[in-house]
Structure 1
Amino acid sequence: MRPALRQAWLRLHRWAGLSLGLVLAAIALTGAFLVVGKPVDRLLHPELFTAPAVAAAPASLDAVRDSLVAAYGPQASFTLRPPRQPDDTFWAFVHVPNGFDGLAYLDPATARVLGQRGDHEGLVNLAFELHSSLLMGDAGRPLLAALAATYLFLLATGVVLWWPVSWSRAFAMQWHNGLTRSLFDVHRLGGVVIGLFIAASVGSGVWMAWKPLAGWVTSMTGDRPVTPPRVATHAGPQASLDVMARAALAREPGATIGYIGLQPGARPVRFRLKAVDDPHPNGLTSVWFHPGTGQVLQVNRWNRLDAGARNTAWVYPLHTGDLGGPLHKAANALFGITLFTLGATGALLWWRRRRRLR
């Protein structure tokens, strides 16, 4: 490559990295932290995450709903998450208009509320908000897509700058030529060797954060987005959740309940099921019920959803590491640490160069 052209590529790479690369590095580090932070959070707060006693006969779903309505009022919306391990508590995502937003933790044996934590409380929640929305809510999600484009640009320009004249020295590390040279080798080889794996992690994260991407894929394939059914005005008593649960599971043998969505008023009740062949850890098969009669209104199996939603079934576990189990989670943490290291070494190299020039 001609020196002038190489210098131009280097400037583009350097200033893109210095302007946005450190933000990418922070997002990567929080992603790596979440892999470890969530299990540690569980250990530090057993009063929220560990059931007081393993229940031989768990409380009914109707008892859970009654307990939550008594605690948060009839206008609150709930998303129930049944225990997934024998000693898990029962979780409920709670939204109270102009009130509490967060997680409530219930005793699965008695349906008693054990405690709660707001969406903005705790180090793990703070790390998740930074990682998923830059602490800006929905407004931060398009910025994440822009940061992903920046990373792909950094990856492409980095590969161009690395491309060797002699392949025999392409992956050599020169530890004996001083700190600056060692940092340079760590930066360039880390980006080239692990860069494509990091790109998969960054791209899958953007897919999850920025919902319009799934809609665009659905539109390009000619599919129609799946929409929930509508319910006429309903103000009477609510049907039994336990009866609905049995009906939902009967339609998908071998499935487990991932979430149950409950909203006040004339809104259908949604049971999200994890089918045996569904790669999504929470399941994307939905069975919708009338809140008053308990009648099945609509069934959407995960592999018959629109193209955008079907892709999410694979992209989500790819990003979280659930697709490949503990080894995949560990690899994702490594990718996050590597991306943070690339940002840190790039900034340090620039600073050492500036100091030397002065």
Structure 2
Amino acid sequence: MLNWRKLHRRIHKWLGLSLGLLFCVIALTGSLLVFYDELDQSLNISHSKLQSNASPNFSNALNTLRKQYPDKLGSWRFEVTANAELIPARYYNPPETQHLEFAPLMVWLSRDGNTILRHDYWGQYLMTWLYNLHFTLLLGNTGTWLLGYAGLAILYLLFSGLFAWWPKRGQWQRQIKFKKRPSPIGRLYDWHKLLGLIFIIPLVILSVTGVMLALPKESTAILIKITGPIDTAEAPVNPYGTDADNTIIEPNTALSLALNTLPNSRGAWIETPATNGNPFYYRVRVQTKGDPSRRFPHSYVYIDGHTGEISEVFDYQKQGTSTTILNWLHPIHDGSFLNLTGRITWLFSGLAVGVLFILGAMRWFIRNQHKGKKAQVNIF
């Protein structure tokens, strides 16, 4: 008769030894990325340069960027941060990094929009390098694909450990307690077991959401079959073209129009019209009631850059089940859906993976040493 407990114990051991280091890299980088913005700002911008009293002036910021980077004729994206003391901006697909899969120009301006405090390219400074390591293993789309399927094996690693430990009827209390063990192997097992039980649920959630984020096509195909179609935001057709008068409404005005269109919403991103007229509309990204993502919410308001008329609205509250599930993946994965509590929980969950790997590897190493000594005794 097949001993399922013994089988899962072996699977858990060999998956842990083969995937453990990879799991540690993913988990430890993820722990740091939970506080991505805070760490990045503290590492790169002096607090003396920040403005705490000024209101964010995106119009000034856009003028400053146009003067500093006259060759950047496309759209700029400003992050609307309620409590931040600066204005983060992004320019996607700059000519100097077009040979890379993803390396937008990142610029940070003073709160009044008049001064550039810092500029860099995605992937060329620590926190974005860690993000690329976490999400792509620095291998681009190929790395993301590999991580997606490795994540499925990591899920099995977690469940195999749970199945190997699962108590028989009437032995639950005994299996949860620490036992008086004379050997270090037994003590290492108890700590590995306890830590694994404490963090099994967070780690399973992180693994499932990570797999779905890494394999979006596969995840979407499954969702469509189970819960229905995916809703997509459709950008309006540009009515002007490149010969249009480039006089546009101000970014701050566009933000106000978007917030009035979706009452009780909060601004997150302002994407400006391009100076070459293509596209010539604002796309303002806002967080509405019920949307779990604060930094990257899922409602969009498209605004005519000339007239200020609302062209299209894509409202989170009117999206279907499949789209809502996808919308929840990122805020669950980064812990922001539970605000600071979730982020701290995810931080310690990632650190726990490193400790679990060390405990398991030490136990395996000590056990092998004992086996080697017994073999030598038998030889002589």
Say whether the fold is shared (TM-score over 0.5): yes
Give the corresponding residue for 2:359. Answer: 345
Q: Does 1:234 align with 2:249?
A: no
Give the corresponding residue for 2:60. Answer: 63
Contact residue 270 and residue 284 of structure 2 kept, 8 A: yes
Q: Which moved more, 1:308-317 or 1:193-202?
A: 308-317
How many residues of Structure 1 are paired with residues of Structure 2 in the alignment? Answer: 354
Of 288, 296, 299, the match for 1:275: 288
* Structure 2 runs not aligned, ≥5 long: 98-102, 373-380
Take 1:57 and 1:154, find their aligned partners in 2: how far apart are those partners?
50
Deviations 1:139-186 (A, max 9, x none): 222222212211221122212211224223111223642322221122
Give the corresponding residue for 1:123. Answer: 126
Secondary structure of the 1:323 match is helix
Using the TM superposition, give the Cα deviation of residue 75 of structure 1 relative to its aligned residue in structure 2, in angstroms: 3.3
* Structure 1 runs not aligned, ≥5 long: none
Letter in 2 for 1:239: I
Take 1:266 and 1:220, find their aligned partners in 2: how far apart are those partners?
38
Give the corresponding residue for 1:266. Answer: 278
Take 1:273 and 1:221, find their aligned partners in 2: how far apart are those partners?
25
Q: Give matches, 1:31-42, under 5 Å.
A: 31-36=30-35, 38-42=37-41
Q: Residues 188 and 253 from structure 1, CA distance in 2 versus in 1: closer, same or farther, beyond 3 angstroms?
A: same
Secondary structure of the 1:98 match is helix
Secondary structure of the 2:336 match is coil
Deviations 1:303-333 (A, max 9, x none): 2124343223333222222222222211111
Contact residue 218 and residue 225 of structure 1 kept, 8 A: no
Deviations 1:23-69 (A, max 9, x none): 1121111112233564344333333x77533344542x333222222
Q: Does 1:208 align with 2:213?
A: yes
Using the TM superposition, give the Cα deviation of residue 338 of structure 1 relative to its aligned residue in structure 2, in angstroms: 1.6
Contact residue 22 and residue 344 of structure 1 kept, 8 A: no
Secondary structure of the 1:272 match is strand
TM-score, length-normalised on structure 2? 0.83
Give the corresponding residue for 2:42. Answer: 43
Q: Residues 266 and 39 from structure 1, CA distance in 2 versus in 1: closer, same or farther, beyond 3 angstroms?
A: closer
Contact residue 25 and residue 341 of structure 1 kept, 8 A: no
Of 187, 192, 201, the match for 2:192: 187
Of 254, 259, 272, the match for 2:264: 254
Take 2:221 and 2:62, find their aligned partners in 1: how far apart are those partners?
33
Letter in 2 for 1:181: G
Take 2:3 and 2:255, find their aligned partners in 1: how far apart are those partners?
68
Using the TM superposition, give the Cα deviation of residue 244 of structure 1 relative to its aligned residue in structure 2, in angstroms: 2.1
Of 138, 142, 157, the match for 1:139: 142
Contact residue 238 and residue 293 of structure 1 kept, 8 A: no
Q: Does 1:90 align with 2:96?
A: no
Q: Residues 279 and 55 from structure 1, CA distance in 2 versus in 1: closer, same or farther, beyond 3 angstroms?
A: same
Take 1:13 and 1:167, find their aligned partners in 2: how far apart are those partners?
21
Contact residue 284 and residue 313 of structure 1 kept, 8 A: yes
Contact residue 218 and residue 306 of structure 1 kept, 8 A: no
Using the TM superposition, give the Cα deviation of residue 219 of structure 1 relative to its aligned residue in structure 2, in angstroms: 5.3
Contact residue 33 and residue 131 of structure 2 kept, 8 A: yes
Give the corresponding residue for 2:329. Answer: 315
Q: Give matches, 1:164-179, under 5 Å.
A: 164-165=167-168, 166-174=171-179, 176-179=181-184
Give the corresponding residue for 1:78. Answer: 76
**Aligned residues with identical type, % of pairs:** 23
Q: Residues 270 and 317 from structure 1, CA distance in 2 versus in 1: closer, same or farther, beyond 3 angstroms?
A: same
Using the TM superposition, give the Cα deviation of residue 224 of structure 1 relative to its aligned residue in structure 2, in angstroms: 4.4
Using the TM superposition, give the Cα deviation of residue 286 of structure 1 relative to its aligned residue in structure 2, in angstroms: 0.6
Q: Does 1:304 align with 2:304?
A: no
Contact residue 55 and residue 109 of structure 1 kept, 8 A: no
Of 203, 228, 241, the match for 1:222: 228
Letter in 1 for 2:43: L
Take 2:210 and 2:269, find their aligned partners in 1: how far apart are those partners?
22
Using the TM superposition, give the Cα deviation of residue 280 of structure 1 relative to its aligned residue in structure 2, in angstroms: 1.4
Take 1:323 and 1:276, find their aligned partners in 2: how far apart are those partners?
13
Take 1:199 and 1:15, find their aligned partners in 2: how far apart are those partners?
19
Using the TM superposition, give the Cα deviation of residue 8 of structure 1 relative to its aligned residue in structure 2, in angstroms: 3.2
Take 1:98 and 1:308, find their aligned partners in 2: how far apart are those partners?
37
Using the TM superposition, give the Cα deviation of residue 248 of structure 1 relative to its aligned residue in structure 2, in angstroms: 0.9
Of 296, 299, 303, the match for 1:289: 303
TM-score, length-normalised on structure 1? 0.88
RMSD (CA atoms): 2.6
Q: Does 1:329 align with 2:335?
A: no
Contact residue 226 and residue 306 of structure 1 kept, 8 A: no
